[in-house]
Amino acid sequence: MFKVSAQNRPLRTIATDNPITEMWSMLSFFESGFNVESYLKEKFGSSITNIGEISSNIALSMKTAREYYRAAEEVTILTEPLLLFYGMSALSKVLFGTTHGKESPSRSHGLQEVEGWNGISSDLSVRILKNGTFPQFHGCFCKESFRNQVFSLKELFSLVPEAKVSFETVYKEKSKALKATRILYGISLIDSELQKYTDLEDLIRSIPNVNKRYGIMQRSIDRIHLFCANGNAPDSTIRAISGEEYIVLPLKKGTTTVIVPEMSLHYLIAYLLGMFARYHLKEWAELVKGEKSGEIYVIQKFLDTTKRKFPNMILDEMHNRNFLFTSPKIEVEEKGLSREQLRQIYKYVIDEMGSELRRSGL
């Protein structure tokens, strides 16, 4: 099956009263070993050995993922992050199996909390290891290895478009997400505080697909215009669950920049929050109370976002197209005024003006 970049895939919009239920209804197709086997045969032909066993195990992983996500809806935020991470881990194994036609051989996370944490939640950091579930998952959609890279929770939060407002409110600094609006021949990146960004043009140009797709860059007070030079090049925008589009700037790591794919981003944040809730329970409980820090505002926004978005991204990858689940719009019939109604309104206004003039002695 020919694979296209996430940004250039065809988009299908699905109107539904319950986007999460509809999304999981589509994912439930892969809870059947028969359906998974049919999917793998269509994708890989008859070259897979033990396809029946592999299909059954992939289906079991999908069922397990759904159970974890359901459980996360029933608990408080004290344990919610850990359940969501386990659900993500199960979904990542589904993606690995359907991408490669084999089961994930990993028995470890492939991630490690950085030792010597200072107790400040935003500084909690993760290191990417060579082997494990995350490197295998990441490799399903990204060729660039993140081995030995270290990311802090605050760095990762800055990359989440849906958390832009909450991030900037809590941390009093700019997030890496810039809202993108389509214009004739290109896009505009809009932010009322562009002056607070440093090296902004250089960071935008360091995004490989931006250089390939856009030529001229023009800056005004509150926006940067990027004009398309190559419409066939992959786009660089990320679509939020609201449907709005964003360009996300890379992270600066020393003299280099790092672009974190959105699925990897959600997985890494969920890992850190899950480990936080499991191994630093006292500090986590204090954070949840919100008495010493306002970071729970950002965390809750991410949890609300990822419950809806991460399974959606998995669905997109497996179908090689993007699905946008939206609530149906209520159509309101707009009726224009009749000529008689307009005549009566005009007469009323003229009469009122005359009365006002007479009361004024004019």
Could you read off the pLDDT of 230-242 as tens digits, one per residue? 988 888 899 999 8
More confident residue, 220 or 1: 220
Whether the per-residue pLDDT at 339 is higher than 50: the answer is yes
CB atoms within 10 A of CB 83: 21
pLDDT digits (tens, 9 = 90+) for 88-138: 999 999 999 999 999 888 889 999 999 999 989 999 999 999 999 999 999
What confidence tier does 2 reach under pLDDT thresholds 50, 70, 90?
A: very low
pLDDT over 90 percentage in the chain: 76
Mean pLDDT of the chain: 90
Whether the per-residue pLDDT at 346 is higher than 60: the answer is no
Alpha helices (H) in the chain, listed in sequence order: 19-27, 33-44, 51-74, 80-100, 133-138, 153-157, 164-171, 200-205, 208-213, 262-279, 281-289, 296-319, 339-359
pLDDT over 70 percentage in the chain: 89
**Predicted pLDDT at 157:** 98
- Residues 203-207 have a mean pLDDT of 93
